[in-house]
């Protein structure tokens, strides 16, 4: 099996932000010429994550961030005192990786689905990795 892994760097602009990385993932799959298989997107940061959700209406991303901030406020009864305890919790809830199936050299996403890098402690320069797993 020919595994293809690549790292990508992005720059967040806000403390809490959803950055659409769908086009980057599509380009990666096309570049690797994977007709069928899967791609794993992995975020190696404890205050950032990755998720799949609606990308057509930007209010969805706003609602996700607003709800996370309401449920897990920046200031709370946290023992971890670096000032980003909330971001650690939010990143854990969203998760550090997603797996997307590949069909016909494209990610197999629903009509409105996009892939988002979640920034919880920005602005920062961040890295995420993609590994494609072609079908034998």
What structural domains does the chain harbor? 4-134 (2.60.120.460)
pLDDT in tens, 59-83: 999 999 999 999 999 998 999 878 9
Confidence of residue 2 (pLDDT cuts 50, 70, 90): low
Residue 115 CA to residue 74 CA, distance in Å, equals 25
pLDDT in tens, 7-54: 999 999 999 999 999 999 999 999 989 999 999 999 999 999 999 999
Whether the full predicted model's pTM is greater than 0.85, yes or no, is: yes
pLDDT in tens, 78-89: 998 789 999 999
Which residue's structure tokens are 């975020």?
A: 43
Residue 102 CA to residue 50 CA, distance in Å, equals 18
Q: Are strands 48-54 and 17-20 parallel, antiparallel or unpaired?
A: unpaired
């Amino acid at each position: 099996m020919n595994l293809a892994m690549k790292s990508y760097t992005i720059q967040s602009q806000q403390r809490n932000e959803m950055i659409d990385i769908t086009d980057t993932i599509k380009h990666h799959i096309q570049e690797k010429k994977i007709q069928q298989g899967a791609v794993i997107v992995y975020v190696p940061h404890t205050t950032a994550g990755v998720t799949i959700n609606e990308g057509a209406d930007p209010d969805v991303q706003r609602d996700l961030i607003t709800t996370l901030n309401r449920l897990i406020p920046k200031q709370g009864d946290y023992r971890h005192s670096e000032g980003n305890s909330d971001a650690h919790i939010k990143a854990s809830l969203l998760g550090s990786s997603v797996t997307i199936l590949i069909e016909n050299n494209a990610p197999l996403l629903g009509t409105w689905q996009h892939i988002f890098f979640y920034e919880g402690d920005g602005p920062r320069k961040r890295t995420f990795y993609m590994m494609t797993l072609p079908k034998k």
